[in-house]
């Protein structure tokens, strides 16, 4: 089945540790996104990528890094510089361009990150 796969579902980070969240999609979507959601809050954009080998900072990029070496994959690294990483992380993808500019984003089922 086509979809977006995030792993792991739950992740624990120790002090000073970098951790990487995986996001893979087989929908052939050009654009991919990372959001963070805190309890009782909406989704805030961390990074997005509209094409392979290119990505842009969102509203809260500090303490995070991404790469987009393949169309299917958009991993997010939460670095030790992110002092409050506990949140629900959501990856999304969408088609882009032309007649598809008004298409919605579709989400993976998320990764919950906590500090040990």
Quote the CA–CA distance of 21 and 111 in Å, as a whole number.
7
Write out the binding residues for another protein, residues 3-32 only, by CB under 8 A: 31
- Write the interaction track for another protein spanning residues 32-61; mark x where CB under 8 A is met and - where it is not: -x-x----xxxx-x--x-x-----x-x---
- CB–CB of 47/62 below 8 Å? no
Quote the CA–CA distance of 104 and 85 in Å, as a whole number.
27
Among 2, 16, 98, 104, binds another protein (CB under 8 A): 104
Helix (H, G, I), strand (E, B) or coil at 99: helix
- CB–CB of 115/85 below 8 Å? yes
Residues contacting another protein: total by CB under 8 A: 25
Among 19, 85, 95, 108, binds another protein (CB under 8 A): 108
The CB-of-101 to another protein minimum distance in angstroms stands at 7
Q: Does 109 bind another protein (CB under 8 A)?
A: yes
Give the dihedral of Cα atoms 4, 5, 9, 13; nearest 10 deg: -100
Binding site for another protein (CB under 8 A): 31, 33, 35, 40-43, 45, 48, 50, 56, 58, 88, 90, 92, 101-110
């Amino acid at each position: 089945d086509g979809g977006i796969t995030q792993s792991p579902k739950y992740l624990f980070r120790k002090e000073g540790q970098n951790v990487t969240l995986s996001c893979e999609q087989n929908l052939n979507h050009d654009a991919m996104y990372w959001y963070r959601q805190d309890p009782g809050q909406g989704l805030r954009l961390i990074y997005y990528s509209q094409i392979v080998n290119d990505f842009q900072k969102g509203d809260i990029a500090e303490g995070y890094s991404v790469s987009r070496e393949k169309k299917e994959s958009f991993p997010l690294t939460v670095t030790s510089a992110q002092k409050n990483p506990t949140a629900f992380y959501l990856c999304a993808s969408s088609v882009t361009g032309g007649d598809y500019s008004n298409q919605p984003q579709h989400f993976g089922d998320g990764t919950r990150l906590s500090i040990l």
